[in-house]
Amino acid sequence: DSPQNRLRGLLYEEAFQRINNGIKDERFFEVIALADSIITDRVQALTQDILKDEPEQYSWMSVGAAIEVLFHEVKPRNITLPPEIRGLLTQVQQFWSQKRNVASHGFVVITPKNLEQGVETRLDNLKDAAVEGAALARSITNEIDKFRSQWGKD
């Protein structure tokens, strides 16, 4: 086990503990940020496995961009992602990232379109995005790690 993998394990343990506590303690902004970070990291790890030693390297990017890159990179290599992974990532891309944006980035933003959304509605949106993001982060971690281990990776 490399120092990088040991540190990653500790960071994931801390992140998931903070997610669990954050939901209980209603620290939903923290939960959303950690879920986003975990999902992005797992997607980028899988993308790097697929690229192997190819010169193309992707630096940090948003979760949506990371998913797009992964979907782009599997196509020319005729790699079929398991339906569980593709489904979860499509859910993040098409639904959760929008919920996350509305809940966190738009929490205090008032527009004519959302003027009727009061504090309680915004807090409910925040909680929904946090709970869904936490579940997605756990499922995506499990599914991608399972798939990567079949490839002989960490």
Tens digit of pLDDT for each residue in 32-43?
A: 999 999 999 999
**Given this model, what pLDDT does residue 20 score?**
98
Euclidean distance between CA atoms 131 and 118, whole angstroms: 20
Q: What are phi and psi of 55, to 5 degrees?
A: -70, -20
pLDDT band (50, 70, 90) for residue 153: very low
Q: Looking at the predicted structure, is the pLDDT value of residue 9 above 60? A: yes
**Given this model, what pLDDT does residue 152 score?**
53
Q: E strands within the chain?
A: none
Q: What average pLDDT does the segment 75-103 reach? A: 95
Give the distance from CA 125 to its chain's centroid.
Answer: 18
